[in-house]
Amino acid sequence: MVDLTPGGPGSQPRVLPLSRLMLAALVILGSAGDVAAQPTSPPDRPDLGTVPEPGTVRLSFEAALDRAGRSAPRLGPRREAMASIAPLQDAADLAITQPPTIQSYGGVRYLADGRARPEVQVAYWHNIPMRGVGSARSKVAAATTRQAEADLQIAQADSRLAAALAWVDARVAREIVDHRRRSLEDAESLAALARDRVEAGADDPSLGAIARAVVGSSRAELLRALGSETEAIMGLAHAIGLSPDQRIEAVGPTELRLVGPREREVLAAADRGHPSLQRTAPDVAMAEAQADLALASNAPNLSFGPSVTREGGGDWVFLAQISVPLPVVEPGAFAAAQARRSGRVRLAEDERMRRQVERDVRLLLHHREHAAEERELLEREAVVPARDALRIARARFEAGATDVVPLLSVRRELLAAEARLLEATAEVMRAEVRLAHATGKLGGAP
């Protein structure tokens, strides 16, 4: 390419090497990153101010967990399930579980002399189950209470997990926005320097255009980061029970220490406190209570009561009567066997779930360690050297020793390394949060 910028009388056109132009083109493509993959039409000058909007809620990690444990949307049905147990308990505590019955007979008695006289009998029967139906119903009500309490605790733990992950997303999104904003400011500064050098005739005009293109790419990346932050904030607002249009700023350190490093202790804590395992004991208790209720409800009744008869001859007969069933069969045996079978299946399912929890926790421990190592490696061997290289390249550019292309190339590497560092930091935080949930340390489960 030939530089046709006049440099004074007798000056010769300067030729820009083709290889340098190709490198500059790669810098532009690399700076655009994923932005080129989304053909949007953003405004020419998006609002990039940093002043918080009025009504912004500054939310720490602990505050997000606390609010999620109180106000998350998924807690509503579980609390209603708890509130609806009271009528069940009242119905279970009835003293009489079966109503008494009255039997009456009426007819005509023909006397020996051929006369007909009316005859009436009335009997009262009080039915008492051979098994305690009331106590069996109370056991079912108590087991239902335990299930509802476990469901509420699990919902609280899951709500805190969702809020914690949403807070991490919002917190990292804030870091990415700040990173993109600093990148834009740096690109604008470089573009101004490149423009001055082009106007002074020290550089090819195409290099000034390249610097302006980097500014455009940086602005698009910032716009995209702002959109991602909005999505993350809306997700966090929903997770903690706030309005989706509530402005939230996730504040606090990007280093979470919730679970210790010792694998054996973490596995033992998960075996005790994983939310999904908290339903086993209530379910087994419910199966046993249902079996007892099936036996009691289907058991025969012991019936007794008085009877009075007005015979056709005018005599009155008063009797006490009792009905005792013969214990030759257990009517509720089938239903009880079905209930106890579900309890045994639930215990087997619990064993399977414990094995799965152990596997998941081991994977989370590995993922946390791997992400932490990647974060440290990027910080030590990518970000720090790239910052040193950028400082050197910028000093040489400002001194006029090189044009803007080497500086843009180093800047691209630094931005990519810093972006990977942010993602690695987010992965460490997510793994820490999931480990805390698995061990019951986010709250909600005992």
**Residue 368 half-sphere exposure, CB side, CA atoms within 13 Å?**
24
Cα–Cα nearest to 170, from 227, 250, 59? 250
Q: Which residue has the tokens 């402005």?
A: 247
Residue 129 pLDDT greater than 70, yes or no: yes
Residue 295 CA to residue 139 CA, distance in Å, equals 13
Residue 403 pLDDT greater than 90, yes or no: no
What is the β-pairing status of strands 301-310 and 14-15? unpaired
What is the β-pairing status of strands 248-250 and 57-59? parallel
Q: Which residues pair with 124 in a beta bridge?
A: 102
Q: Give the mean pLDDT of the chain.
A: 84
Q: What is the pLDDT of residue 239?
A: 93
Q: What is the pLDDT of residue 4?
A: 32
Residue 78 CA to residue 94 CA, distance in Å, equals 26
Residue 5 pLDDT greater than 50, yes or no: no
Cα–Cα nearest to 218, from 279, 177, 164, 278? 177
Residue 169 pLDDT greater than 90, yes or no: yes
Encode pLDDT of 16-64 as tens digits. 444 454 444 444 445 444 333 333 333 333 333 343 466 788 999 999 9
Q: What are phi and psi of 399, to 5 degrees?
A: -85, -5
Encode pLDDT of 307-320 as tens digits. 999 887 788 989 99
Residue 163 pLDDT greater than 70, yes or no: yes
Reduced to 3 states, what is the DSSP secondary structure of residue 326?
coil
| pLDDT band at residue 109 using 50, 70 and 90 as cut-offs | confident
Residue 195 CA to residue 129 CA, distance in Å, equals 98
Residue 152 CA to residue 154 CA, distance in Å, equals 5
Cα–Cα nearest to 249, from 309, 185, 171? 171
Query: Which residues touch 428 (CB under 8 Å, ≥6 apart)?
Result: 256, 368, 371, 372, 375
> DSSP state, 309?
E
What is the β-pairing status of strands 14-15 and 2-3? antiparallel
Q: What is the pLDDT of residue 53?
A: 60
- 32-41, 105-114, 189-198, 233-242: range with lowest mean pLDDT: 32-41
What is the β-pairing status of strands 101-110 and 2-3? unpaired
C-alpha distances in Å from residue 26, one per residue of 20, 21, 222, 405, 406: 10, 9, 20, 10, 12
- 8-17, 93-102, 168-177, 373-382: range with lowest mean pLDDT: 8-17
Q: What is the pLDDT of residue 330?
A: 86
Encode pLDDT of 244-278 as tens digits. 888 899 999 988 888 888 899 999 999 998 998 99
Encode pLDDT of 273-324 as tens digits. 899 899 999 999 999 999 999 998 888 888 989 999 988 778 898 999 898 8
Task: Quickly list DSSP for 117-156.
Answer: EEEEEEEEEEEEESS-HHHHHHHHHHHHHHHHHHHHHHHH
Query: Which residues touch 363 (CB under 8 Å, ≥6 apart)?
Result: none
Residue 88 pLDDT greater than 70, yes or no: yes
Q: What is the pLDDT of residue 54?
A: 60
Residue 182 pLDDT greater than 90, yes or no: yes
Encode pLDDT of 407-418 as tens digits. 888 999 999 999
| Between 387 and 404, residue with greater pLDDT | 387
